[in-house]
Structure 1
Amino acid sequence: MALRIKSHWSDPDRARSLDEVAGALAFIAWRIALDRAINLHCERFVYRDDAQRLAVIEEYLVFLIQIADRLAHARLDEDRRRDLITGFARRVFDHVQDNATDLLGPGAHGAAFIERLNARSGEYAEYGFTDEGPSYPLLRHLGFEIQRLMGEGQENRWVIDQVMDQDGWEAYRRFDRAFADLFESDPI
């Protein structure tokens, strides 16, 4: 089933705040990350429980926040870029907290996500990103982290290849297109 993402503003002539753009990006990122986690299951990779599936979704979200930062670098000055990415990360945090509470029960689930985001931000900063998209090492790191989360048992031993060669690229392409669509008429 194809993932449909609404990434055009209903009134393209109305100016949007960075917070509105951040909210739209967070919703789109959540949908893409969820879709990629579902796709792994469809490709016969095995999750042991909902907590593991949520951790994979969070790993994709961290990756997409890094992608957004790289894409914003080309479009925005440093202050607006920082505001957008901070707002985006806060909105993603809200999605993680709400969905984790629904799946796992009450708790400070978003705090673990922020820890992961902070750790990965330094790691991803080491990898390149060009006009063609993320570098192979950047995608390999995403695949490595998802492999680590899912385990290296017989059923999941090739998940790193799936993420590096297909799912990571697909997440990037969808997010890149949505990001460009939201900024199409320079709404902010």
Structure 2
Amino acid sequence: MAVRIKSKWHHTKRKGNLRGGREKTFEDRANVLAHNVWKIAFATYQRLEEEEFKFDTGPQITASLTEIVAFLIQVVDRTVFGQISEEDRKTLVEVLGKRLAATIDDNLTELLGPGDYRQPFIDTLNRRFQGYAQCTYDDKGPGYSFLRLFGDSLAQAMAAADNKWVVEHVMEIEAPPALKLLYKTVAEVLGIKAPQSA
């Protein structure tokens, strides 16, 4: 998956970013992570399109991107668990949710026209978080049940009648490179230990 991630700040003398200037806050880092989560999610969606999985309607595209983002946010949350304070973890998930809701709203408005994309996105995130909370995740990353929920949720979002192999494809082909890139990003941006590979 060829996605260029941002994990370092410019050291130029741009306004507000002077060399030796202000320390980057945890919220700054969470915003950088949100930007990269979106890039990884969109690249995953594009790869599914390239593999000729069908996205027939705007709502299918919206639902599919939402499922990919929900999966990635939940992986971030589970990866940082126990490595950062609960306050920072709460801030991280809130910033990711809000920033990605705004990003998905902006992108889908541009792609599909005006609509209410933000609230359905947040509602889906909340439902998925409850589901993923029941799934296995250890120091190697998401377990089978975690990946299966992702595959099933994405297949449902795609209305996968014509995409009968989407669950297996997502679990075996799409998730590993997305997770590898996400772990690298989380480790670099937050300075924590993340699984090395998916």
Same fold (TM over 0.5): yes
- Code of the residue aligned with 2:98 in structure 1: it is R
1:58 and 2:66 matched: yes
Between the two proteins, the alignment pairs up a number of residues equal to: 185
Match of 2:182 in 1: 175
- Code of the residue aligned with 2:2 in structure 1: it is A
Q: Which has the larger radius of gyration?
A: 2
- Code of the residue aligned with 2:167 in structure 1: it is I
1:37 and 2:35 matched: no
Q: State the alpha-carbon separation in 2 of the partners of residues 88 and 148 from structure 1.
A: 24
Q: Which 4+ residue blocks in structure 1 deviate beyond 4 angstroms?
A: 11-14
- Give ranges in structure 1 of 5+ residues lacking alignment: none
More displaced 10-residue stretch of structure 1: 96-105 or 122-131:
96-105
- Code of the residue aligned with 1:32 in structure 2: it is I
* 1:62 match: secondary structure: helix
> Whose helix fraction is larger, Structure 1's or Structure 2's?
1
* 2:81 match: secondary structure: helix
* Aligned match for 1:112, one of 106, 111, 120: 120
Contact 1:9/1:182, CA 8 A, preserved across alignment = no
- Code of the residue aligned with 1:17 in structure 2: it is T
Contact 1:93/1:114, CA 8 A, preserved across alignment = yes
Q: State the alpha-carbon separation in 1 of the partners of residues 6 and 122 from structure 2.
A: 27
Contact 2:101/2:118, CA 8 A, preserved across alignment = yes
Q: State the alpha-carbon separation in 1 of the partners of residues 78 and 54 from structure 2.
A: 32
Identity %: 33
1:152 and 2:160 matched: yes
- Give ranges in structure 2 of 5+ residues lacking alignment: 12-18, 193-198
Q: CA deviation at 1:104?
A: 2.3
* 1:147 match: secondary structure: helix
Q: State the alpha-carbon separation in 1 of the partners of residues 79 and 10 from structure 2.
A: 23
* C-alpha RMSD over aligned residues: 2.1
Match of 1:3 in 2: 3
Q: CA deviation at 1:152?
A: 3.2
- The within-5 A match list for 1:124-135 is 124-135=132-143
